[in-house]
Amino acid sequence: QVRLVESGGGLVQAGGSLRLSCAASGSIFRINAMRWHRQAPGKQRELVASITSGGRTNYADSVKGRFTISRDTVENTVYLQMNSLKPEDTAVYYCVVETAFRTYWGQGTQVTVSS
């Protein structure tokens, strides 16, 4: 069983920064990629950023230049550094770990950006 523990969400003013963390533990075998998704009220869940086992990153256009995804391969932890936050970044952020056999989702952490 794989467990994902997310942290770092909260309330911040527009223009501020937050850093999300997601630590994966348990029977993890061959992580192919780690991702962050988000879902705002009344909207569909969307991919924010991803990082492969080789370190290749990908970002949604709406966060390029503001968000940075990184990972610690030893600790099986993925981070999302969010700078220059905007009210439209308000959402529940979900950590996703994609392994060779299945994909795991975290419980989500709330990020609220006030104007």
Q: Where does the pLDDT of residue 2 fall: very low under 50, low under 70, confident under 90, or very high at 90 and above?
A: confident
DSSP string across 42-106 = TS--EEEEEEETT--EEE-TTTTTTEEEEEETTTTEEEEEE-S--GGG-EEEEEEEEESS-EEE-
Query: Mean per-residue pLDDT for 73-90?
Result: 96
β-strand 77-82 against 18-26: which pairing, if any?
Answer: antiparallel
Model confidence at 29, in pLDDT bands (50, 70, 90)? confident
- As beta bridge partners, residue 73 has none
How far does Cα 19 stand from its chain's mean position? Answer: 9
